[in-house]
Each structure stands twice: as structure tokens, then as C-alpha cells.
Amino acid sequence: MTPKTTRILLVEDNPGDARLIREMLAESGEESFTIDWVSQLSQGLEKLARENFDVVLLDLGLPDSQGLETFSRAYARQPRLPFVVLTGLADEALGLSALRQGAQDYLIKGRVDGRLLCRAIRYAIERKQIQDALKAEKERLFFLLESLPAGVTLKAPDYSIRYANRFFRDIFGPWEGKRCFEVIFGAKESCEDCPSVKVLKTNQPLQEERTLPDRDRTYQVYIYPFHDTEGFPLVLSLAIDITARKQLEESLEASRRFLEISHRHSALTPLLEDFMAEIKRFTGCAAVGIRIMEDRGDIPFRVFSGLDLPACDLKSSWGAESGHFMCLKVIQGRVDPRMPFFTESGSFYSNHTSGLLATMSPTEKGKTCSLCNEFGFESVALVPVRLGPRIMGLLQAADPRQNLVTARKVEDLERAAVYLGTALEKLKAQESIHVLSQELLRAQEHERQRISRELHDSIAQELAALKITMENLRAELSERPELSQKLWQVSEKLQGTLNSVRNLSYILRPPDLEHLGLVQAIRRRCEEVAARTGLQIDFRAAGMEAVTLDYDTAINLYRIVREGLTNVERHARAAKANIRLVASFPKIILRLEDDGQGFEAIEPGVPTAPGKRMGLLGMKERVALLGGQMNIETQPNKGTKITVEIPWLRKP
């Protein structure tokens, strides 16, 4: 392979020195060289402009240029080429100066041989190539830094910024000659517990999450120890904007919490109170209220917090046709999504009600907007509670501060309003089912009472009369022992049947419950079971003297206790049972506990096998009809505890 020929531009005004350089390169024999010689700088500049060279040998003392100016002019013409400057013995300082300005090497005339000259040329070319590669790499690095979608800064220990990329500059503006806390926070002093100081002290990287409230942005900041080329300590910071991720996480968490609340409650007031508290937490607004549309058209506040009572009373008095107020427009769906303060889903929001009112005509303002502003609210959000296209109510959040109800938060509130609408519809359906079930239960009890009266007043009386007749007939036939014995057997069967009918009548309509009340009726039942089975039953009641129960509630509680005792008697193989009945507003609590053999708990959603645990299912159904809850705690050979809680609707 033919070695590459190195083309040299020699700018030297002394012909003898030029000839000597040619001879030294020719005699070296190490490489192939071609030399273009000119004696003046102007000639050299012309060649540099027209032709390509690998290296320039440049004398600093020329007829048309002297000293460093010679190098500066030549280097400016072709900075990509390596330069080796030639100086006299007395001008060595000029050679060093040329090196600092970009030359690759300098040689002192009279102290150079062919080998040294070749090596200087070769090294100059190699060093220039390395420098160019490093420069290109540096340019690529800076291009990458400038293109990064993250803020990059280099800071000195005195907090001064040495470098900031475009992302940082676009956000915080000019940084030259400023310290980091001045640029980022507009502060006059450094931050307390500054992480950069900690990184400099420990020489260990750190990361932190930092929110800039005035810019409504959140950044994940990575901070590293760094050193410049001279070993001077610096701090490299990389700040990645994670606002979108945080907002998504916040939205998902809010949706999860609202959805959990909507599934948690089976009563309206606790549902609305928890929703209101979550709206307040999520938005940060001082005032929150929820209005629910009633069947007759009124839209009162069902729950509110932070709102003045007069304002709530005034707004609650407005019906759906009261006027052209903003909140009524939202509830009626009479909004224009093209307007900047309405959303496509029909919500209204403003973060500066004073400014909004200033741009509206008196007709456009409406009393609601004016009233919100009169009560000092700058941030206001009105979100319709929906179930499909049907509007069921209104969520309202307001605060004296500006910019608290962003479009993103309003969108999240709209999602929450859908959850609330679904929950309200579910409660309404459950209430309808509950009413129907209560009616069914009431009809069942009425039918039981009718059958009980029929058994007691008709069948039992007829059986009693028949038994008396049999006894009289037996007395008349006392002279015929065989017939008298048969009559006695028939009479005894009639007595057993009569007892069964009376017992069935008492079960269908417990007389103790009517005459003695719930507590004494349960006590009597406990005594009967204990006497018949030997089971030790400890029954205690507390607070029930203050409670006035309707018959439906009392009979269902009694039947729950009766069924529970029947289960213990038939299945538990228990020696002891404890029953507690406690009235503690707003609940009535019934607890049945035994020390029997227990059982495997019924898993939610798993159907019970036919004929098994039907008593427990019947108890659960009765508790549900009373609007309560029943919990079963049991394990094999560890007994069973059943806890029933039903609402106490009337406080004494």
C-alpha cells in the first residue's frame, strides 16, 4: 500500500531556511512530503484560500507581517489546519503565545533536525485531528444538552450558574451573572438545606422532587458532583418536568377515592358528606357544597362547608325555573361550550370572577356570578351531577384565591360527578327495593297475624271443644274400659294437636312482644330455650328503655334473635351463649355469641347449598330490610359471633 503523501505549505522568506527544510524532510526517509513554498504571508493566504494542505509551516517574521499577527491572520483564514510556527532563538516567547492561540507546535530555527521536524509535523497533524474530534464531540454534546426536554445547569459552589441549556433558559430567562436562587426562585438568599451544598460536601449524587407553585410545575431533579477540566468543583443538575405524570397520578388517585366513596355508602347523607370532604381536599377550595335536584324541582344544598348560611339558604330557595342564574344554567344544561368559561360537559369555572364580571354586560352577569363575587370568591367551579344526559344536581367549589380550579381539576370533578350520579341512582334503586321489601315484610307479618288469629280463635277453639266432647264421652262410657281407653288416646292426640296449633299461633304472632315489649320477649324466649335444652344463656340489654320501636322493627329483631337461638340449639353444640342488645345512637346493636363448634364462613358471592345455613340467610335478609348490616365471625371449633347493626332513626 502506497503511503499517503503529506502536503505542506511552507511560508518562509529566507530561501536558505526553505532549502534546509526541504533537505531535512527529504533525508528523513520516514514519510513522503510535498512542499509548496511561498515567501510572503499574502501569498500563503491566497494558497490557503484556493488549495488543500495537510499542515502549515509558518515563519512569524515575514516581509509583509511580523509576530503573532502573522499567525492570527493565517489561522483565521484556515483554522481547520494544523500550524507549526517557526521562530528564532530570541522569539521563543512568540512561539508559546502562538500555541495558546491555536498552533500545534513551534520550532526554533537552527535547533531542528530532520527527525525532529518530521515528528513535529506528524504530531501536529495528529493533535489537530484529536482536537477537531474533541471539538466535534463537544459540539454534539452541547447540541444534545440544548435539545434535551429537561433543564440542565452547571453551578459553582458560590451558587453562580456557569451553564444553562435552552430548556432552562426558556423557563427562567437569562442566567448570565446570576445565582441559581435568584433565577429560579427570585430570592435574595440561598435555599435552606440546599441540596447542591450537600452534594458538594458529600461528593454523592442526590435526587429530589420539587414543585414551583408560581409556575404550577413539578420537577424531578437529579444533582451530581462534577469537576471542570482544571479540577474545580461544580454541581451538575438535571431537572425533568414530571408535571403531566403527577397530574395523571393525582387524577387517577382522585378517581379512585371518589369511586371508593361512591361504593362505600348505602345512605345519602354520609355519601354526600364524604364526597364534599374529598372535593375540598382535592381542589384545596375553602368552600364546597352539593345541591341535589328534588322531585318538585327545588335544588337545595344537601351538604356544604365554608359557605355562609345566608348564601346557602338563598340559593337553596331557587327552583329550577327561578331565573337566568349561572348555577341554574349549569343545572338546566343551558350552557354554551364555545364560551371560555364553559366546558364541553356543561360545567362552569372561573379563576378570576372579578375580571370575568368586568368583561360582561349586566344582562350577562346573572345574580349567581355577582353573588359569588360579592361573597369574595375569585375561583369558582360549578359541575353538574349527571347520569347519562340527565342532570341530578350540582357540585360547587369556591375560594377567595385565584387560579385554584384549573381546567384539569374541573375535568376530574366532572368524572367524580358521574360517579356521584351513579351512586345516587343506586341509592334510589336500593331505597325503592327497600320500600318494596318492607311492604312485602309488612304484608307477610299481617298475613301471619291473620293466620295466628285464625289458628287461635277458630281452629284452636274447635280443637278445645272437640277435646271436651271427647272427655265427656269417655266419662259416659266408663263402664266399657276398652272404648274408654281408646277415647283417652284420641283425647291426648287432640291435646297435642291443640298445643302445636297454639305454639304455631304464638310463633306467628308472639304475644310476649305485644304485651311485654322486645326486651322481655327476648328474655322469655331465652328462658324457654335454656329450660328445654340446658343451654346457659346470658342475655343483657342496655339503653333500650329510651327507644320506641315500631312493630316492624321490633318483630324483625325478635325473629333475628329467635332464629339465632334456633341455630345454636340445632347446629352449634354449644354449652354457653351470650346475647347483647344495646341502643347507642345512631345505632341499635345486637350481638349473639356461642362457644360451639363454629363453621367455615360463607364466602361473599358463593351460593349456599340448598338447605344449608338458610337460617343465616333469613337473618341477613331481615337485617337488610331494616337498613342494617350483619357480620359473622366464625371458625371451626372456635364458636360463632354474629353482630347486627341497624339504624336508630329517632334520637331520644
Task: Using pLDDT thresholds of 50, 70 and 90, give the confidence band for residue 606.
Answer: very low
Query: How many other CB atoms are found less than 10 A from the CB of residue 432?
Result: 10
Task: Using pLDDT thresholds of 50, 70 and 90, give the confidence band for residue 337.
Answer: low
More confident residue, 102 or 480: 102
List of residues 6+ apart from 455 with CB closer than 8 A: 501, 502, 504, 505, 508
Task: Using pLDDT thresholds of 50, 70 and 90, give the confidence band for residue 500.
Answer: confident
- Supply the pLDDT for residue 445: 63
Work out the percent of the chain whose per-residue pLDDT is above 90.
Answer: 30
What the block records as the C-alpha cell of 376 is 369574595
List of residues 6+ apart from 393 with CB closer than 8 A: 290, 291, 292, 293, 299, 302, 331, 384, 385, 420, 421, 424
- Supply the pLDDT for residue 468: 76
User: In the predicted model, what is the mean pLDDT of residues 345-359?
Assistant: 81
More confident residue, 247 or 482: 247
Q: Does the pLDDT value for residue 367 go beyond 50?
A: no
Given CATH 3.30.450.20, say whether it is the number of domain 148-241.
yes
What the block records as the C-alpha cell of 172 is 427562567
CA angle 546, 550, 552 (to 5 degrees): 135
CATH 3.30.450.20 domain range(s) in the chain: 148-241
Q: Give the chain's radius of gyration (CA, Å).
A: 49
Integer Cα distance of 475 and 472 in angstroms? 5
Helices 551-567 and 407-454 cross at an angle (nearest 10°) of 80
Q: By mean pLDDT, which of 28-42, 239-253, 273-287, 586-600 is the weakest?
A: 28-42
SS3 state of residue 309: helix
User: In the predicted model, what is the mean pLDDT of residues 418-422?
Assistant: 91
CATH 3.30.565.10 domain range(s) in the chain: 513-647
SS3 state of residue 59: strand
Q: If we measure between CA atoms, which residue out of 647, 645, 530, 652 comes closest to residue 580?
A: 645
Helices 268-283 and 407-454 cross at an angle (nearest 10°) of 170
Report yes or no: 175 and 164 within 8 Å, Cβ to Cβ: yes
CATH superfamily of 5-143: Response regulator (3.40.50.2300)
Q: What are the strands, taking DSSP E only, across 483-552? A: 536-542
**How does the average pLDDT of the chain come out, rounded?**
82
Query: Using one digit for the tens of pLDDT, what is the confidence trace for 376-387?
Result: 888 888 999 988
More confident residue, 240 or 559: 240
CATH 3.30.450.40 domain range(s) in the chain: 255-430
Q: Does the pLDDT value for residue 324 go beyond 80?
A: no
User: In the predicted model, what is the mean pLDDT of residues 604-615?
Assistant: 49
Report yes or no: 624 and 433 within 8 Å, Cβ to Cβ: no
Q: Does the pLDDT value for residue 620 go beyond 50?
A: yes
- Supply the pLDDT for residue 320: 45
Bridging pattern class, strands 83-87 and 105-108? parallel
- Supply the pLDDT for residue 607: 37
| pTM for the whole structure | 0.58
Fold for 255-430, please state it. Beta-Lactamase (3.30.450)
Task: Using pLDDT thresholds of 50, 70 and 90, give the confidence band for residue 311.
Answer: low
Of 3.40.920.10, 3.40.50.720, 3.40.50.300, 3.30.565.10, the CATH number of 513-647 is: 3.30.565.10
Position 430, amino acid? Q
Query: Using one digit for the tens of pLDDT, what is the confidence trace for 185-194?
Result: 888 888 888 8
